[in-house]
Amino acid sequence: MKLKSTTAPHLASLLTYALLTITLGFCINTLAQDSPKVPTSQKSPRFKPLTLEDLNVYQQPLGQQVLKVSSIGLGGPYNPLLRSPVMGQRMFDLLYYLRWNSSVPLRLNEFAILIIGRQWRSQVEWFAHAPLAIKAGLSPDIVATLKTQKRPENMAEDEAMVYDFVTELTDTKKISDATFAKAKKIFSEQQLVDLTTITGTYVTVAMLLAMAEEGVPAGKELPFKFGEP
Say how many domains are in the chain.
1
Residue 85 falls inside a structural domain: no
Please answer whether residues 209 and 76 qualify as being in contact, where contact means their C-beta atoms are separated by less than 8 angstroms. yes
Give 43's pLDDT tier (boundaries 50, 70, 90): confident
Q: Which helix (H) or strand (E) holds 182?
A: helix 177-184
Interatomic CA distance for residues 201 and 215, integer angstroms: 19
Residue 37 falls inside a structural domain: no
pTM of the model: 0.80
Residue 78 falls inside a structural domain: no
pLDDT at site 39: 52
Residue 143 falls inside a structural domain: yes
| Between 71 and 103, the higher pLDDT residue | 103
Interatomic CA distance for residues 128 and 99, integer angstroms: 12
Interatomic CA distance for residues 154 and 36, integer angstroms: 38
- The pairs formed by 82-85 with CB atoms below 8 angstroms and a separation of 24 or more are 82/50, 82/55, 83/47, 85/58, 85/59, 85/61
Residue 2 falls inside a structural domain: no
Give the mean pLDDT of 35-55: 77
Give 29's pLDDT tier (boundaries 50, 70, 90): very low
pLDDT at site 20: 46
Residue 83 falls inside a structural domain: no
Please answer whether residues 74 and 51 qualify as being in contact, where contact means their C-beta atoms are separated by less than 8 angstroms. yes
pLDDT tens for 122-160 read 999 999 999 999 999 999 999 999 999 999 999 999 999
Residue 55 falls inside a structural domain: no
Give the mean pLDDT of 59-75: 94
CATH number at residue 165: 1.20.1290.10
Residue 16 falls inside a structural domain: no
Please answer whether residues 114 and 170 qualify as being in contact, where contact means their C-beta atoms are separated by less than 8 angstroms. no
Domain span at residue 160 reads 105-212
